[in-house]
Amino acid sequence: MPIKVGVVGYGTIGARIADAVMKQPDMELIGIAKTTPDYKAKTAVSRGIKIFIPENSIESWKKAGIKVDGVVEDLVREADVIVDATPKGVGKANSEIYKKEGRIAIFQGGEKKDLVEATVVAQVNYNEARGKRMIRVPSCNTTALSRISWFLEREYGVERIIATIARRAADPADKKEGIIDNIEFDPIKPPSHHGEDVRTVLKNLNIFTTAIKIPTTHAHLHLINAKLRKKASREEIIDALSEERRIMLVSSEDGITTTADVFELSRHLGRPMNNIYENVIWIESIHSDGEWVYLAQAVHQEAIVVPENIDAIRAVASTLDAESSMNTTDRTLGIVKGRI
Q: State the DSSP string of 235-273.
A: HHHHHHHHTSTTEEEE-GGGT--SHHHHHHHHHHTT-GG
Q: What span, in angstroms and rounded, lies between the C-alpha atoms of 237 and 312?
A: 28
Q: What is the dihedral of CA 52, 53, 54, 55, to 10 degrees?
A: -90
Least distance (Å) between residue 142 CB and ligand NAD:
9
Q: Which residues are near ligand NAD by CB under 6 A?
A: 8-14, 33-36, 85-88, 90, 108-111, 139-140, 171, 301-302, 305
Give dist(CA 190, CA 222) in Å, integer. Answer: 16
295 forms bridges with which residues in the sheet?
224
Q: Would residue 140 show up in a list of annotated catalytic residues for this protein?
A: yes
H helices, E strands: number in the chain: 12, 17
Torsion, CA 56, CA 61, CA 64, CA 67, rounded to 10:
-170
- Contact criterion met (CB below 8 Å) for 264 and 298: no
Instruction: Give the integer Cα–Cα distance in Å for 84 and 6.
Output: 8
Question: What gap in Å lies between CA 70 and CA 57, rounded to an integer?
Answer: 11
Identify the active-site residue in 140, 169, 211, 280: 140
Identity of the amino acid at 40: K
SS3 letters across 121-171:
CHHHHHHHHCCCCEEECCCHHHHHHHHHHHHHHHHHCEEEEEEEEEEECCC
Supply the minimum distance, in Å, between the C-beta of residue 137 and ligand NAD: 8
Single-letter residue type at 121:
V
Catalytic residue IDs: 140
